[in-house]
Chain A
Amino acid sequence: MSLWLLLRGHNEPGGGFSGGLIGAIALVVYMFGFGPEATRRVLSVRPMTMIGLGMFFATISGLLAFFLGAPYLKAYWTVLPPWNPDGYKLGTPLLFDIGVYLVVVGTMLNIILLLDEERKE
């Protein structure tokens, strides 16, 4: 559901921040049930890595414009499939939003997982 929220964001309520928060909540509920170690295993990447990856996506989403000669971070859109003008619209803001999503999930999980692990001591 959180991924759906992410993708929906541009035309309906949603977007990277909300999607990320819901994703984090989902994993937190999992953590309450199964414990932090199991959650980390399910996650399979470290939260810090997610944060870094998210920031990376966000930053490079603007570079496409740069290489095409326009100012950094100008948005570029394309349609998928390319021959159908009413198809799904893909664009650099989507990549940026994915980055936001990852950063939000990473931050929340980092804090909450650490806190729960502290609790065990």
Chain B
Amino acid sequence: MAQEKMGGLSLASSIAIPFLGAILVAFALRLPQRVTAVLLPLPALASFLLLLQHARTIAAGGVVSEPYNWAPLLGLSLNLRLDGLGLLFALLIAGIGVLVMAYAGGYMGSDPQRCRLFSFLYMFMGAMLGMALSDNLIALFIFWEITSVTSFLLIGYKHRYEDSRRSALVALTVTAAGGLVLLAGVIMLGLAAGTYEISAMVANVDAIQAHPTFPAILTCIFIGCFTKSAQFPFHFWLPGAMAAPTPVSAYLHSATMVKAGVFLLARLSPVLAGSAAWTTTLVIVGSLTILVGAGLALLKADLKQLLAYSTVASLGVMVTLLGAGGADGAFAAMAFLWAHALYKGALFMVAGSVDHESGTRDTRLLGGLWLKMPYTGTAAILAGLSFIGLPLFAGFAAKELTLKSLSPVANFGGIAIAAVVFGSAVGGAIALILIGRVFAGKPTDAARQAHEAPWSMRLGPVVLSVAGIFFALNATNLESWLILPAMASISLGDPTKGLQLFYEFDRYLGFSALGWLAAVGLFYAYPSVRERGQRITDRKRPTPGPERALNVALDGLAPFSGAIIRRIQSGYLRRYVMICAATLIALISVGLLLRGPDWQTLDLTYLQSIGSEFSVHELIICTVIIVASIMAVVASGRLTAVAALGIVGFSVAAIYILYGAPDLALTQFLVETLTVVIFVLVFYHLPKYAVVPRKTKKWLEASIAITVGCLMTALVLMTNIEPASKVSTWHSLNSYELGLGRNVVNVILVDFRVMDTLGEIVVLGVAALGVTALLKLRPRFRRRKIEPPADAVVIQQADDEEVRS
């Protein structure tokens, strides 16, 4: 049905440009602030325009795709595909991104770390766009996880503050754990469908839904989406995420990231929806979320917290709508998603401006701000009215459609509608609080010292709130260009009602009116409700619930691991090495024994054949090695031992040279040198004595060491018997032709087997991180005078300094 168009590079570029922007912006620290606010949104604007150019194709029912091969032999491909749903979401991401970046430029002022924030924001944007445009489920998942990580970095931006760190950790734990479960679901789905391309899965829907793993798939994907979109019982991380700077809250936690779960549910609807399990679960969880979110909102006084809880409720509405399903549900969900992003983003930015300019976000301390902040106030009013859902605003149509599409839902339709009405009542109350209490009324102290926000921070709220009216007045255009194509990606059929400025006087309007009345009532009752609620919650111990469970788990994790480590690890390097060596022996012996007895005969013949081929210099070097090794073992001083080991190393390198492996020898020389340097530096810290083990222990250690040596010898001899492998011959032959280099070793490292080298470098980097942590996290007290133990005793509890690692 849909005609496919090739996207050239536009889709990939729209994802790559934010990442590029993230790098560029890291160097923007020296730019004056005014310039920053103007330049900062440009990459986002570029992405927005790149995507906008496809609007016409999408509106006509077409699809834009760009397939990319990543590792074709493994079947991994990054296929980008832009359909209605993707376009809607991507335009939101990029468009609101432009406004948020300008806002952030103004908000962060002269904060010396601000480029970190900008950089992370752009990384997030790139990852979100990647998620929206991916057709391959695995690629989508990777972008999903990147958004979790960047969200963590953004929430924890003020990393010197305990609550920022804790909120970030909670958010990451919940979303990443959900991500793991999601991965399981994705893999199962891929196996059941036979492909990871979502567009191809649509053809196999019946087979997939009949598959025995289908209930597990549903559960896993649900959990993944619920954690990301803060559905009950995973809702608690979202209010905590308000510790982030407001640009982050406005972008991630209202307009884009939290909607990712909703997005994925919508994206997979054609494949997964249709069963009673789908509908029931989504409607119930969604409705519960609405109730919990809206209910808890009434207990808060902080502007951002109010908005956060109401966002939880709104996400619940969207989930419920997707559960309701059908063309109506999908249409309403898309309309709601759009309208919500507009007014919520605006309101968050307003909250941030209020905080920035007046110094507080506490609704008890604010009042009469309108005089000082007219522009922001106007934006707040317009967005607030959309939130309440009055006619003339985008929020109205969204709400009406929501109510209408929920009524046909079997069993739970009534509950869902009641939940939505309650949620919108609370939302309306919040909007009224913002308008009536914060901006109108008598100016309070905080208001008196406030001033209007800079243009960069006014831009976002004004644009978004005006857009709310604009799209309401242009409803038919919005419908045909954006909402209908998005709906088409989710569900077949046509909606019964489109986007209109006003609908008839039916009972749904009555429900809405009920909501408005309730909102007004709640507005007046709010202070007392909040007081009473806070008295209940502030009392005694914190309330039991998922958040408490997570906090207990996180707090208990460190002592718990510490207790285990203290049992297992004594802190003595000697013991660790012994255990490693012993395990090595055990595993290799098992392998050898399983292989069969044939290895014995081969060994001996080989040994005989090489016996006659020794030359003089080889003999000399081997003698040096043997003598040096013995010296290393029996030496009485540490430096002597290390020097002897160094000699062994250099001699081995000499052997490499003799056998024609200059690269290996070179590297061996260099590594040996550096190792000696490191040893010397470390020796400074070791105590001035050594624990000399008992006789029996000495024999144990010696026998383990000798056994390891013998095993290694046997292994090497065995490998030599095998005929020269085909792979190495191929490498040598093709090194010049394909790899353009005569040095086979290097060509292998950076060309033929470059993927392995990439992994090795990462290991090096992680090792460096580990060493840094070990060295920097040691407690700084002076070393206590530790008496050398009696000769035969090995201390069981090592001193703190060594165990602390």
Q: Which residues of A contact B745 (CB under 8 A)?
A: 13, 15
Kindly identify which residue among B662, B673, B757, B758 contacts A13, using a CB–CB cutoff of 8 Å.
Answer: B662
Cβ–Cβ contact B667 & A21, under 8 A = yes
Kindly identify which residue among B9, B69, B662, B768 contacts A71, using a CB–CB cutoff of 8 Å.
Answer: B69
Cβ–Cβ contact B69 & A70, under 8 A = yes
Contact A55 B70, CB 8 Å, known A25-B670, A115-B681: no
A51, B769: Cα distance in complex, Å: 10
Cβ–Cβ contact A21 & B68, under 8 A = no
The answer to whether the Cβ of B793 comes within 8 Å of any Cβ in the partner chain is no
The answer to whether the Cβ of B72 comes within 8 Å of any Cβ in the partner chain is yes
Contact A89 B740, CB 8 Å, known A16-B750, A67-B9, A71-B69: yes
Contact residues of B: prevailing secondary structure: helix
Smallest Cβ-Cβ distance to A59: which chain B residue: B758
Smallest Cβ-Cβ distance to A32: which chain B residue: B677
The answer to whether the Cβ of B772 comes within 8 Å of any Cβ in the partner chain is yes
The answer to whether the Cβ of B6 comes within 8 Å of any Cβ in the partner chain is no
The answer to whether the Cβ of B584 comes within 8 Å of any Cβ in the partner chain is no
The answer to whether the Cβ of A91 comes within 8 Å of any Cβ in the partner chain is yes
Cβ–Cβ contact B69 & A107, under 8 A = no
Cβ–Cβ contact B70 & A119, under 8 A = no
A72, B71: Cα distance in complex, Å: 7
Q: Which residues of B contact A89 (CB under 8 A)?
A: 740
| Residue of B682, B685, B741 with highest tally of chain A CB at under 10 A | B741
Cβ–Cβ contact B765 & A118, under 8 A = no
Cβ–Cβ contact A15 & B768, under 8 A = no
- Interface contact tally, CB-CB below 8 A: 146
The answer to whether the Cβ of B674 comes within 8 Å of any Cβ in the partner chain is yes
Smallest Cβ-Cβ distance to A51: which chain B residue: B765
The answer to whether the Cβ of B734 comes within 8 Å of any Cβ in the partner chain is no
Interfacial residues of chain A within 4-56, with CB under 8 A of chain B in the complex? 9-18, 21-22, 24-25, 28, 47-48, 51-52, 54-55
Say how far A41's CB is from chain B's closest CB, in angstroms: 19
Q: How many residues of B contact A (CB 8 A)?
A: 48
Interfacial residues of chain B within 766-805, with CB under 8 A of chain A in the complex? 767-769, 771-772, 775-776
Q: Which residues of A contact B768 (CB under 8 A)?
A: 47-48, 51, 106-107, 110-111
Interfacial residues of chain B within 649-685, with CB under 8 A of chain A in the complex? 662-663, 666-667, 670-671, 673-674, 677-678, 681-682, 684-685
A10, B755: Cα distance in complex, Å: 17
| Residue of B9, B678, B751, B776 with highest tally of chain A CB at under 10 A | B751
The size class of the interface chain A forms with chain B is 35 or more
The answer to whether the Cβ of B607 comes within 8 Å of any Cβ in the partner chain is no
Q: Which residues of B contact A71 (CB under 8 A)?
A: 69-73
Say how far A88's CB is from chain B's closest CB, in angstroms: 12
Mask of B725-750 contacts with A, CB within 8 angstroms, 1/0? 00000000000000111110111011
Cβ–Cβ contact A55 & B743, under 8 A = no
Cβ–Cβ contact A18 & B666, under 8 A = yes
Smallest Cβ-Cβ distance to A120: which chain B residue: B684
The answer to whether the Cβ of B761 comes within 8 Å of any Cβ in the partner chain is yes
Contact A21 B681, CB 8 Å, known A10-B746, A110-B772: no
Cβ–Cβ contact A25 & B674, under 8 A = yes
Kindly identify which residue among A25, A58, A77, A108 contacts B761, using a CB–CB cutoff of 8 Å.
Answer: A58
The answer to whether the Cβ of A82 comes within 8 Å of any Cβ in the partner chain is no
Interfacial residues of chain B within 1-34, with CB under 8 A of chain A in the complex? 9, 12
The answer to whether the Cβ of B635 comes within 8 Å of any Cβ in the partner chain is no
Cβ–Cβ contact B746 & A15, under 8 A = yes
A93, B740: Cα distance in complex, Å: 10
A22, B670: Cα distance in complex, Å: 7
Say how far A58's CB is from chain B's closest CB, in angstroms: 6
Cβ–Cβ contact A107 & B776, under 8 A = no
Kindly identify which residue among A11, A58, A93 contacts B751, using a CB–CB cutoff of 8 Å.
Answer: A93
Cβ–Cβ contact A15 & B9, under 8 A = no
The answer to whether the Cβ of B200 comes within 8 Å of any Cβ in the partner chain is no
Cβ–Cβ contact B764 & A107, under 8 A = yes
Contact A21 B9, CB 8 Å, known A77-B740, A106-B768: no
Cβ–Cβ contact B69 & A21, under 8 A = no
The answer to whether the Cβ of A3 comes within 8 Å of any Cβ in the partner chain is no
Say how far B9's CB is from chain A's closest CB, in angstroms: 7
Interfacial residues of chain A within 85-121, with CB under 8 A of chain B in the complex? 89, 91, 93, 96-97, 99-100, 103-104, 106-108, 110-112, 114-116, 118-119
The answer to whether the Cβ of B762 comes within 8 Å of any Cβ in the partner chain is yes
A71-B70, A89-B740 known; 7 new pairs, CB 8 Å cut-off, are A10-B746, A17-B667, A97-B750, A106-B768, A110-B772, A112-B678, A119-B684
Q: Interface residues, chain A, CB within 8 Å of chain B?
A: 9-18, 21-22, 24-25, 28, 47-48, 51-52, 54-55, 58-59, 62, 66-67, 69-73, 75, 77, 89, 91, 93, 96-97, 99-100, 103-104, 106-108, 110-112, 114-116, 118-119
Report 28 cross-chain contacts, Cβ distance below 8 Å, ordered by A residue.
A11-B743, A12-B742, A12-B743, A16-B750, A25-B670, A25-B673, A47-B768, A51-B765, A54-B761, A62-B754, A66-B68, A67-B9, A69-B68, A71-B69, A71-B71, A71-B72, A71-B73, A96-B757, A100-B750, A100-B757, A100-B761, A104-B764, A107-B765, A107-B767, A112-B677, A115-B681, A118-B681, A119-B684
